[in-house]
Structures are given as structure tokens and as C-alpha cells.
Amino acid sequence: MSAPVVASPEGFELPESQRRVILWMVYLGFAALAIGIINGLGQALNYANIDILKYFPGMRTYYQGLTVHGVVNAIVFTFAFTNGFLALCTSRALARPLSGGLLWAVFVTMVLGTLLAGYAMATGQASVLYTFYPPLQAHWSYYLGLALLVVSTWITAVALFLGVRGWRRDNPGARIPLMAFVSVATYAMWSLASIGIAVSVVGLLLPWSLGLIAYSDPLLSRTLFWFSAHPIVYFWLLPAYVSWYVMIPRQAGGKLFSDPLTRVVFIMFLLLSIPTGFHHQYTDPGISQGMKAIHATLTFGVFFPSLVTAFSIMYALEIGGRARGGRGLLGWFAKLDWRNPALVAQILAMLSFTLGGATGLINASYNLNQAIHNTAWIPGHFHMTVGSAVTMSFMGIAYWLIPYLTRRELVGRGMAVLQSWIYFIGVLVMARGLISGGLDGMPRRTLLMEAPYSKPSWELAGMLTGLGGTLMFIGGVLFFAVLIATILFGKKIEGKQDVPFTETHIAPASSGWELNLDRLRWWFVAAVVLILIAYGPFLVEYLPGNFTSPPYRFF
Amino acid sequence: MSKEHPLSPEKVEKVFLSLAAAMLLVFLLALFYSAYAMGMHLPGRDGEINPTMVRETPPFDEPGLKQIEPGRYEAVFLGMAWAFQPREIRIPAGAEVTFITTATDVIHGFHIEGTRVNLMMIPGQIGRATYTFTEPGEHLIICHEYCGAGHHLMYATVIVE
Ligand code: HEM
Ligand SMILES: [Cu+2]
Ligand SMILES: [Cu+2]
């Protein structure tokens, strides 16, 4: 019993102005990534004792560049791409346009936010890294810019929620199409999760940077930051999961295993992404061991839906590979379409993510975290998650999305496939370097080439970091070459195009318990209850806090 | 669709997901065993302090190593931009040392490489970690949290004799 994941499988055309604004969001995201990988190269070479940063115009310190790298990659790139991509997914799934005014507001807010934060970073007044822990104090425009970038995701959320509400009004009793459900669930999770950063930035840090508040509470701000910044990793990841669930099966020639199971997975992320933030604060004094243990347990819980995802994806790929003539236990894997860049980039992203996930589970492992916390292991881990699993998925999506949005055929398919492999091998080599160095105590966030201390074992680790980072950079440059060539020289596509959505093996039910899965409002309330359990006892014990730290500008 | 497979995907799904859940459970139990039965603890709530008055507040008015009883020591460490105080401690092999830490200005890190002593130094919070150094040798104490332009200059040494 197959069923599509969208409302009108026959086709749907986005209104022209919405197509254009989504394209601009995607462009903004990739422009940010282009800046990000240049800084990344400088950082990776720093660990190999090679200084190219001195050739970067206007860069005063390593840490100024590192701030830019974190902000443009992890915030501007991911937010801009996701705002555009999931708006498209929702609109296509419902076969109805979203509010065009809101979509333009999203774009304008993102540009303003990027300019404000960019001004502070470029002038060296915000070298506080993308985690902005007080009492290091940045220029107010940095906090305001970051706040606007978060606001852009809220406006997107409103546009998606209104779209679904309108669709339900017009289709009483119908199940929400899966592709819209997963998109909206992602934004429901993030809307709730981002409250922590919003309170911290707007309520505390912005007035503090304007001199209206004299003191900050560093532990409380860290806690509010990680309230949002663990779930942010799922806000980075879930758009890639959307593609892996509802598009990759089609692109691989397979099928999505189960509609209800997919909904359950996204609901689990809504419930469990947020009450886990203390796993970033295992080594923080001031938070009790009991609370840390609760967050550790829930973190292991939120790992489960990713294992379900692994199952669903392997199912889809195996069906696809066998349909193409693959035999035996693993022969189907070799038979996948290794010449389709959209597919190759994302399969490699998944492979990278298995290692990223495994290292993530180690980070989450309570007292084991003390072996690696804040060592180079950590960037080793997350370049295999956000830095490649997510980034390579977005690149893979771009290989059909840019042609879809510009109506121009992809130029350089062979180079696009090559690009994925180079970036993939690069990230594995860099992660190998950072991870082995980290296990030996090599610190992250450090201008290591000028540190007065070192260990002999860091030498090989640093060289691999530099080598892998260089490969990633080359892979990134080739990606942009393909992108620009497509935009400028791609052959015009005549006729209709569509988003590559899949069919499901197990269809959604039209009656029974499954209908409850669509009651996002209930699940939202359940998520709030879990948050109160996970953060309530700490806040009750800790508040009114210890607001005694004056600001410092040590940069 | 399922004819190609000797097992139906629905059955494989159940097995896969059960194994996945069991794996997570076993890992978690092992961790809590190591923490609560073997005593490898994380830092907890060990007191607050006014970061502008650290030097007047015991025990931080006297940073450095102190013997409590034979084989047991307390090491009081301050983190500031961009140095630890003290810069070096010397202890005999086999000594159990409790580190008591705080920061005087911004957030710093306190990682003794090669050990599981790994603490954030957060202004306003007092950190505590206990560790027994069994082998003679040297360990770096590295500030592993960004603390400003001179962050990479900040380190100290533990010498086990
Ligand atoms: C050419 C590609 C890239 C290279 C060579 C690279 C390299 C690096 C290195 C070596 C670090 C560690 C710096 C340090 O701790 O001192 C780092 C940090 C980081 N990278 Fe990348 N990176 C690349 C792309 C990306 C991408 C695509 C993302 C995310 C989408 C990303 C996100 C981050 C983040 C969030 C940090 C942490 C910043 C901080 O500690 O404040 N990177 N990168
Ligand atoms: Cu996390
Ligand atoms: Cu530091």
C-alpha cells in the first residue's frame, strides 16, 4: 500500500516571487559558507603549524577568525538554507503557497542580522566566539544581529504553521502530508528550544552590553545558551533528515519504509532534543550530579530516533540498490547510482554521520566526557556531524534545488561527484587528526602554533588536521565552482519540474491511534513538561542566580 | 516488495530497534556503574563566590598545594587572564589531590592532560575534583576554554615525583 508524502503528487508550481525569495535565502546561506571555509582552512593549518592567517586582510587575531567561522557556518549558513528549504518542502507538500510577505520578512531579517553581527566581528569588537559566554563582552550589535537571525527562524515558523492551519481548514479530517509534517515538527522543536538563547541575549546580554545592567551570571548564561544550543544541533540536522527520509528514497530508486514511524521519529526529536543541555555542562561546577545524570539519560534517549533513521535509510537504499540489480548481502550498495551528485553527496554525508554519531554518544557519556571535553576531539566530532553530514547534505540538496529554483541544468555533474568525495575524505582525515590529538589533551579553540606548551604526539595529529582541512577546502571550492557555473551557464530548463519526493511502503492510516501523531499541539505541551522536569529543579535551586561578574573585553 | 527478502522488513525493523535500545541501555548502565560504584564523579554544586573578591575569600586567599594528611593534598588554583596561579605543583607519586578552583575574571578551563581532571573555571562558581597520581611524570594543565587574545599562553604543570 503505497502513498505519496505530498498532497497533490501531480504537481504544483510555486508562485514566482516565492521561488525567488527562497532562492535568495539559499544564496545567502551558501555565501556565508564560502566565507566559512576560508577561515576553516586557516584554522586547520594552525594546528599543522602553518600560518596563513597573516595573509587574511583585516584579521587581527585567530579568535576573530574563529568567531566568524562559527557564526557564518553554524548560524547563518544553516539558518538561511533551512528557512528556505523547509519553506519549500512545506509549500510543496501542501500544494499551496505560504505567505509571501512573511517569506520576504524572513530574508530581510536574516540580511539585517548578518550585517549587524558581521560589523561587530569585522571590526574586532566581538571576538567572543559563537558561544559568546559572558563575562567576555561583545559590541551590542553582535548580540542584536544574532537575535535577528533567531527571529528569522521564528518568522519562518509562523509562515509554516499558518500554511498548515490553512490547509487543515480546507481539508478537514485529512492527514497532514508527511513532508509538511516533518518540516513543521522541526520548526516546532526549534521555536521552543530557542527560548533559552532569546532570554539570555535579549533579556540579559543585550542590555548588559549597552551598559544598562552592570553584572552578568556566567553559569546562568551558559545554562540558557545550552538550553538552546544542544537542540540547535537537531535544528541543523533535521533538514538533512527531511531530505534523507522523504527525498533520498526516491533518488536512490527505493521507498520510504514507514509513514507513521517517520512521524514518531520527529515527535521524539521534539520531545527529547531540549531536556538534554547539561550534557554540554558535565564539567561545569554549580550543577548537581543528579541533574547531569537525568540529562545524560535523556540524551541516550534522543539517540534512539537516529538509530531508527539508520534503519529507514538502509531499507530505502537497499530496495533501490536491489532494483538496480544489486545482489548479495552488500552488493546492492555498490549498485546505487554513484554518478548522481545529489545522491552521492548525501550517502557520503550519512557515512560521515555514523562516525559523528558514535563520537557524539561518547561525548554524551557522562563521566567519560571528562576525557575529551574541550579538547580538539570536539571539533573532530562535530565536523563529522554539522561540518559534513549536514553540510554535505545541503550541498547534495543544492544539486537539485539550485536547478529547480533557477530553472537551469546543473553544470559539471562529474565535478560535483568528485567534490563530494574530496570533501568526505578531507573531513575523515581532519577528524582523525583532531580526535587523536584530543585524546592526548590537545585543546580546541587555541592558537596552538603560538602556544608555549606542546606535546610530541600532537605533531602527527596537527599534520593530519591541516591535510584534511586542506582537502575539505578544495572540495568546498569545487562545490562553489559547480554552483556558480550552473547559475551563469546552465542550460535553461523548459517545462515543469518538481521536488523529488518519495512514496512510502507503509502508508499513513486514516483512522485509529495514528491520528494522534498529527496533534502537534499535544506533543508541544508534552515537550514543555519534560523541559520543566529537566530544568525546573536546577532553576528553583539556583535562582535568583549569582549576578556578580563585571564585563571584560580581553580581545 | 518484501518478496526479495528472506525476512520481512517489518520483522527486521523490530529486531534492529530492540538491539538499538538494548545497546543504549547497556552503555548507560555501565556509565552509572563507573560513576556511582567506582567513584568517577563529575563536578557538582560545590559552592559560590563573588568573583571580584576571590583573593579575600578562603581558600583562594592562599593558592597552592597544601598537605592535609600523609598522602592527601589540596591544590587551590586560580584562573585569570592569562595564567594559572600557582604555575607549578610538585607531588609525590601515589598522592591523592583534591583540586579546588575558581576564576577571577572570565571563564577559563582546567584540564590536566592524561587524567580525567577536567573542570570549567566559571566566575562565581567553585570547582572541585579529586584524582590520585600513581605514576611519576609531568602533566600539562591546559586552559581549554577561550578566554581572550592570550588564551593559548595559559598553562601550568603538575610534576609527579
Ligand atoms: C573547509 C572546511 C572546514 C575546515 C577546514 C574547518 C576547520 C575547523 C577547525 C580546524 C576548527 C577548530 C578550530 C579551533 O578549535 O581552534 C573548526 C571549528 C569549527 N567549525 Fe569548522 N571547518 C570547516 C567547515 C565547517 C563547516 C561547514 C561548519 C558548519 C556548518 C563548521 C563549523 C565549525 C564550528 C561551529 C567550529 C567551532 C568554533 C568555535 O570553537 O567557536 N566548520 N573548524
Ligand atoms: Cu549536545
Ligand atoms: Cu583560556
**What does the pLDDT read at residue B155?**
98
A296 has a pLDDT exceeding 90 = yes
> Cβ contacts (< 8 Å) between B50 and chain A: which residues?
546, 548
Q: pLDDT tens digits, residue range A329-348?
A: 899 999 999 999 999 999 99
The CB of A43 under 6 Å from ligand 1? The reply is yes
Beta bridge partners of B119: B110
> B51-160: what CATH class?
mainly beta
**Nearest Cα to B145, choosing from A60, A366, A436, A132?**
A132
The CB of A435 under 6 Å from ligand 1? The reply is no
Q: pLDDT tens digits, residue range A248-286?
A: 999 999 999 999 999 999 999 999 999 999 999 999 999
Interacting residues of A99 by C-beta distance below 8 A, sequence separation 6+: A159, A162, A163
The model carries a pTM of 0.96
Please measure the distance between the N-terminal and C-terminal CA atoms of chain A and give it in whole angstroms. Answer: 62
Which helix (H) or strand (E) element contains residue A198?
helix A195-198
CA of A194 to the centre of ligand 2 (A): 14
Q: pLDDT tens digits, residue range A82-101?
A: 999 999 999 999 999 999 99
Residue nearest to atom 2 of ligand 1 (CA): A37
Q: pLDDT tens digits, residue range A442-490?
A: 999 999 999 999 999 999 999 999 999 999 999 999 999 999 999 999 9
**What does the pLDDT read at residue A290?**
94
The C-alpha cell 585567530 sits at A62
**What does the pLDDT read at residue A191?**
97
Mutate to test the interface with A, among B152, B154, B155, B158 (most CBs of A within 10 A): B152
A29 has a pLDDT exceeding 50 = yes
Mean pLDDT for A414-434 is: 98
ipTM score of the complex? 0.94
Strand positions, DSSP E, chain B: 64-69, 72-80, 83-85, 88-91, 96-103, 108-112, 118-121, 127-132, 137-142, 155-160
Residue A408 has phi, psi (to 5 degrees) of: -130, 140
Does the annotation count A55 as an active-site position?
A: no
Provide, rounded to the nearest whole percent, the portion of chain A with pLDDT above 90: 95
**What does the pLDDT read at residue B6?**
63
| Cβ contact, residue pair A285, B31, below 8 Å | no
Which residue out of A263, A279, A383, A408 is catalytically annotated?
Answer: A383
| Cβ contact, residue pair A283, B43, below 8 Å | yes
A420: helix, coil or strand?
helix
Provide the pLDDT confidence category of residue A11 given band limits of 50, 70 and 90.
confident
Mean pLDDT for A166-173 is: 94
Of the candidate CATH numbers 1.10.3720.10, 3.30.497.10, 2.60.120.10, 1.20.210.10, the domain formed by A13-542 belongs to: 1.20.210.10
Ligand 1 probe mutation, A73, A133, A428, most atoms within 8 A of CB: A73
Beta bridge partners of A375: A443
Those residues of chain B that have pLDDT short of 70 are 1-6
What residues does each domain of chain B span?
1-41, 51-160
**What does the pLDDT read at residue A162?**
97
Does the annotation count A505 as an active-site position?
A: no
- Sign of the Cα torsion A60, A62, A63, A67 reads positive
**What does the pLDDT read at residue A350?**
97
Which residue out of A333, A445, A524, A542 is catalytically annotated?
Answer: A445
The CB of A114 under 6 Å from ligand 1? The reply is no
Interacting residues of A475 by C-beta distance below 8 A, sequence separation 6+: A419, A420, A421, A422, A423, A424, A426
**What does the pLDDT read at residue A58?**
83
Provide the pLDDT confidence category of residue A57 given band limits of 50, 70 and 90.
confident
